[in-house]
């Protein structure tokens, strides 16, 4: 009962606008005091705080954030979109396809859905509207493509999950590669079907010459090579995630110098944004771990696990119930809040069901992504509206509906075929 009451209290605090890290820390601390007393609760909280800030793997977060900001300063987002547009932009819906490709490329740097949607949106949306694309397709493709930033390594969401669930971040990154690629392919197939059905929504444009294509590919070869080295090195076991993140940060700094984009202002901005974002996420992680410790005392996870195991239909019915619950919560909570709230409760259930925690991490992030474009929250759509304020939200929601259908199909595939996430780590021996 105490666990249920505190979950409700947490939801109330979030509704009132209390930051997620502060809300979880407050609920966890107050709950511990009520259950075990003031002094043991303070001691336990101090241990959690010390163990959290001294964890080696936490260093991966600011380093990947710095890599993302420096690559942005080097012009990576524009180059990725331009390369994709030169290669496939002449087809029906080609610029929308290029937006997905640009989001996938930039997502492999930023690790953030919002940053990917905002950055590619600033570049691709004006271009698509100028070429006569429908507002629904233009905004829908960018909003959906932005979600790729949350799953394609180095994903910030997977880093946070790995820390909360005490799972290998490198293995999580490797497990997310195939789901991330197939998700992008599902979006591209959706665009091709839409434009074949209604060619007017994504008219074809002029075809770039082979020389222009080669030049565009050459412009992304340095950043693309850095991404392959960082992610490939993690997957193949050449580097730990922290070592790879260090390599990425130094490499991106070198690219800024070689491209003559490194100014004092750009460096100050990159460092300031890295510190601000990393500090915020650290507060969130500490609050979530306090909440997780409290939840372990309440027995709520065991009660939910007993309920799930008692469902007719066994494991598959439990997964369906879990998915419906996550989709429902994802429609009213932002992605990070969803992950932090549900991981302490659902992870023990997943283990009891005999499922892989690595698969669960990818599945949770994949489910979380749907909330980024699902009404009524759909935060990616609000990001796009800030770029194109004349496009109504109802128009944008209409534009993402086909991509939501693709999301549900892809999520069903991930549930039905866990090997989509687990085959590559197993093959590489991660």
d(CA 37, CA 246): 42
Q: What is the largest CA-CA distance in the chain?
A: 72
What is the predicted pLDDT for the residue at 3? 64
Tens digits of pLDDT across the chain (430 residues): 566 777 777 778 777 777 777 888 888 888 888 877 777 777 777 777 777 777 777 778 888 888 888 888 888 877 887 888 788 777 788 888 888 988 888 888 877 787 888 888 888 888 888 888 888 888 899 999 989 988 988 888 898 898 888 888 889 999 999 999 999 999 999 999 998 888 888 787 777 778 888 888 888 888 888 888 888 888 888 888 888 889 988 999 998 888 888 888 888 888 888 888 888 888 888 887 788 777 777 776 667 767 766 666 667 888 888 888 888 887 777 777 788 888 888 888 888 888 899 999 999 999 988 888 887 767 888 888 888 888 888 888 888 999 999 999 999 999 999 999 999 999 887 5
Note the pLDDT of residue 301: 65
Residue 176 and residue 422 in contact, taking contact as beta carbons nearer than 8 Å: no
> Is there a contact between 380 and 373 (Cβ–Cβ < 8 Å)?
yes
Buried/exposed code over 224-243 (b: 16+ C-beta within 10 A; e: otherwise):
bebbebbbebbbeeebbbbb
- C-alpha–C-alpha distance, residues 214 and 216, integer Å: 5
Residue whose entry in the numeric block shows the structure tokens 């409760």: 345
What is residue 174's predicted lDDT score, i.e. its pLDDT?
A: 92
Structural contact between residues 350 and 413, judged by C-beta atoms closer than 8 angstroms? no
DSSP 181-242: HHHHHHHHHHHHHHHHH-GGGS---PPPPHHHHHHHHHHHHHHHHHHHHHHHHHHTTSS-HH
Phi/psi at 175 (5° precision): -65, -25
Residue 165 has phi, psi (to 5 degrees) of -90, 0
Residue 293: the pLDDT is 78
Give buried/exposed letters for 174-212 (b at 16+ CB in 10 A, else e). bbbbbbbeebbebbbebbbebbeeeeebbeebeebeeee
Cα–Cα distance between 139 and 389 in angstroms, integer?
Answer: 11
* pLDDT at residue 415, rounded to an integer: 92
- Rg (C-alpha) for the chain, rounded Å, is 22
Distance of CA 370 to the CA centre of its chain: 10
9: Cβ–Cβ under 8 A, 6 or more apart, which residues? 27
Residue 364: which residues within 8 A CB-CB, separation 6 or more? 161, 326, 339, 342, 343, 346
pLDDT at 305: 67
186 and 122 in contact (C-beta within 8 Å)? no
């Amino acid at each position: 009962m105490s666990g249920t009451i505190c979950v409700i209290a947490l939801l109330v605090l979030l509704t009132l606008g209390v930051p997620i890290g502060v809300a979880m820390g407050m609920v966890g601390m107050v709950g511990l005091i009520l259950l075990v007393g003031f002094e043991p609760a303070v001691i336990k909280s101090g241990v959690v705080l010390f163990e959290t800030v001294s964890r080696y793997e936490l260093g991966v977060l600011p380093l990947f954030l710095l890599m993302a900001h420096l690559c942005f300063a080097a012009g990576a987002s524009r180059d990725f979109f331009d390369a994709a547009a030169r290669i496939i932009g002449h087809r029906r819906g080609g610029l929308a396809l290029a937006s997905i490709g640009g989001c996938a490329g930039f997502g492999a740097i930023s690790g953030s859905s919002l940053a990917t949607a905002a950055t590619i949106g600033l570049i691709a949306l004006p271009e698509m509207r100028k070429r006569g694309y429908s507002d629904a397709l233009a905004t829908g493709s960018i909003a959906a493509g932005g979600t790729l930033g949350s799953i394609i390594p180095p994903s910030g969401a997977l880093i946070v999950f790995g820390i909360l669930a005490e799972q290998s971040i490198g293995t999580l990154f490797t497990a997310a590669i195939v789901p991330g690629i197939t998700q992008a392919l599902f979006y591209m197939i959706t665009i091709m079907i839409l434009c074949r059905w209604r060619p007017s929504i994504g008219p074809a444009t002029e075809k770039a010459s082979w020389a222009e294509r080669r030049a565009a590919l050459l412009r992304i070869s340095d950043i693309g090579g850095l991404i392959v080295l960082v992610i490939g090195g993690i997957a193949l076991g050449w580097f730990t995630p922290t070592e790879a993140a260090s390599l990425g940060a130094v490499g991106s700094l070198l690219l800024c110098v070689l491209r003559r984009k490194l100014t004092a202002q750009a460096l100050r901005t990159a460092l300031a944004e890295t510190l601000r974002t990393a500090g915020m996420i650290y507060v969130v992680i500490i609050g979530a771990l306090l909440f997780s410790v409290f939840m372990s005392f309440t027995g709520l996870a065991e009660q939910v696990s007993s309920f799930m195991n008692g469902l007719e239909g066994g494991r598959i019915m439990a997964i369906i119930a879990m998915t419906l619950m996550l989709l429902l919560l994802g429609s009213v909570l932002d992605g990070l809040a969803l992950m932090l709230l549900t991981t302490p409760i659902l992870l023990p259930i997943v283990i009891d069901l005999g499922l892989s925690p690595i698969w669960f991490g990818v599945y949770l992030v994949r489910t979380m992504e749907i909330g980024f474009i699902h009404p009524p929250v759909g935060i990616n759509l609000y990001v796009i509206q800030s770029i194109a304020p004349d496009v109504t939200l109802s128009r944008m929601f209409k534009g993402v509906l086909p991509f939501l259908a693709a999301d549900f199909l892809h999520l069903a595939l991930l549930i039905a075929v866990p090997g989509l996430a687990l085959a590559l780590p197993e093959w590489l021996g991660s």
